Amino acid sequence: MACRALPFCANLCAMTERPPRPDSARFAARDQKAEIVDRLYEVALDPIRLEDLLEVWEERVTALRQGPLDRAVTLDDPEIDAHVSRARVFLDRYEAARPESGYRLLLDDIPRAAAFVSDGGARITACNRAAQRAFGLAEGGPVADLPFDPADIETLRGVIRKVASGRAERVATLRIRSGLTGSPVILRVSALEEKGLALVLSTELFWPEDFSQIVQEAFALTAAEVEIVRGITLGLPLKDIAGQRGRSIETVRTQARSILAKTETHSQSELVRVVLGLMDVALIPAIAPEPALPDGALAALPFQEMRAPDGRRLDYIEFGAPRGRPVLFMHLDYGLIRWPAEAEAQARRAGLRVIVPVRAGYGQSALHPKGQDHIQGVASDYAAVLAHLGVKQVAVIALGADLRFALALAQARPGLVSGILGCAAQLPLRNAAQYERMDKWQRFILANARYAPKVLPFLVQAGFSLARKLGKEKFFAQVNGGSPADMATFARPEIRAAILAGSEVCLGARVSAHEGFTRECISSERDWSALIHGCPVPVQLLQGDQDPQTPVQTIRELMTDYPALEVEFLPETGQLLFFKEWRLVLERLIPLLPG
């Protein structure tokens, strides 16, 4: 057959052919393989073609999978694997070429240090709020407004042009004296992905409005002491602070020692770190009053950061009652870290402290080292977050196949988990027919996680690229269209808002968790039945009658293996069972709570 994907792929089909054989079924298999190769390259150039690949791949699955799972023919194929590796290169290029106003997102991530973007011309391309306050800049305003000597400004513009054009190192550092404070300012110039632009990050800090009052109240300082803290934070030597205040250097040193005692810090540098940390909190937007949120919109929640025992970064969020009974919420492989607005409000009214760790590879949480057992690694991360928060015992809500993490946590940390409530839970599958019952998108990903894990990273990355191209709402409709209950649930504004906002840690403007998602899928399709048999705590499952991934018939078959599990089926629900029936979920959770 002719290859329709790329001119330079004209010989790909020939590469997959073998000498003719009389068996017509083998001829058909050869043609299927050639068509899969065609589709791989089509998807790599345009992820919108992913469903075409799904269809031809399904034909191959049907041809190969015969009988029970343990006798199924593997979908791994060395020839296809080689083409997958090449196709991923093109898919990576597609992602890199995807248009985004990246530098504006980058500036938003720098709230306190003055930073701006420039091409080295006479005008500022973009700047953050700190640069507006510290340097008096404005977007589109003249570079000459920078508070530096004109000769220094020309030097800076020249460095920007060289770095942005690639004629110099990608990062350059300059030391320039400020015309406002007389203090030296360090400028770091780095190239951006946007051609011809560079980011200029400075050591000049922005002291927010009303922040002096926050510092004074936080540490019980006098107004004079707050001014000294401000000067130290902005990088002024004590002698300059003394001169500005009309005090002797000895007086200011005495006040500085008093400040260190009141703030329980041991040096000026430690004091600055504490104040900058407080500043980060002060710059977090205020959470809007709950009743005023329109159309199911969610209040902003700050991400908290910690370090795992191995040094990796782990993020988490919390909502509900800060001193309430703790609930650990596991966010599914789509990273659904938020609840509907009314559900989050009810958690607070019900006295529940909901803790949502962001799993490895999602958001800013770092991936586990390659080769680490995924289930045990995730369970260890959950335990680390709970230990960091001082939580001694917790009830768990687990979505989908996250049930395996809850079970592993209960076994690895005896006494930590008081009970587990699974929502639209997935159990370890035991035969091919149980995959066949899935809707096509779920079967496409999970069957390949079981049969062809080498191909899965390409398929997942292509799916994420497709989601970016279509938009998450349209992508969700395409993937979950096989469940009318899920489509009706997603149509509700407050649920749609929670899913779209929560999944930003999986697929957002600055995040693509395709590697983490791939590892999750592969570990979910391995046999983790021993975790169910060895679970030391009560487990209750709430299952939907329209679940496109784990239908009722599959659950009933599997329950014969796990008589200790308690199962309740809910009508007109699917994989989004938790989001539709959160009131019932919280009701069923009460007997499982600590204490």
Tell me what pLDDT residue 11 has.
Answer: 31
- The CA radius of gyration of the chain, in Å to the nearest whole number, is 28
| Full-model pTM | 0.62
Mean pLDDT of the residues in the chain = 82
Confidence of residue 350 (pLDDT cuts 50, 70, 90): very high
Please check the confidence at residue 124 and state whether its pLDDT lies above 60: yes
CA distance 584 to 577: 10
Residue pLDDT, tens place only, 1-22: 333 333 323 332 333 334 444 4
Most confident by average pLDDT, 60-74, 314-328, 508-522: 314-328
Averaged pLDDT, 460-473 = 84
Which pair of tokens denotes residue 390? 């001082």
State the fold for domain 112-205: Beta-Lactamase (3.30.450)
Please check the confidence at residue 218 and state whether its pLDDT lies above 60: yes
What are the sequence ranges of the domains in the chain? 7-97, 112-205, 211-282, 297-439+481-592
Distances (CA, A) of 388 to 44, 185, 247, 485, 498: 42, 37, 44, 39, 26
Tell me what pLDDT residue 360 has.
Answer: 96
Tell me what pLDDT residue 25 has.
Answer: 56
Tell me what pLDDT residue 29 has.
Answer: 60
Please check the confidence at residue 88 and state whether its pLDDT lies above 80: no
Please check the confidence at residue 283 and state whether its pLDDT lies above 90: no
Pick one of 3.30.470.20, 3.40.50.1820, 3.40.50.2300, 2.40.50.140 as the CATH number of 297-439+481-592.
3.40.50.1820
Q: Are 229 and 274 in contact (CB under 8 A)?
A: no
Class of domain 211-282: mainly alpha
CA distance 459 to 454: 10
Tell me what pLDDT residue 510 has.
Answer: 79
Q: What angle do CA 372, 375, 379 make, to 5 degrees?
A: 105
Distances (CA, A) of 130 to 119, 207, 283, 304: 20, 8, 11, 23
Amino acid at 449: A
Q: Are 464 and 296 in contact (CB under 8 A)?
A: no
Tell me what pLDDT residue 285 has.
Answer: 44
| Contacts within 8 Å (CB) and 24+ apart, 550-553 | 550/424, 550/425, 550/426, 550/427, 550/438, 551/437, 551/438, 553/437
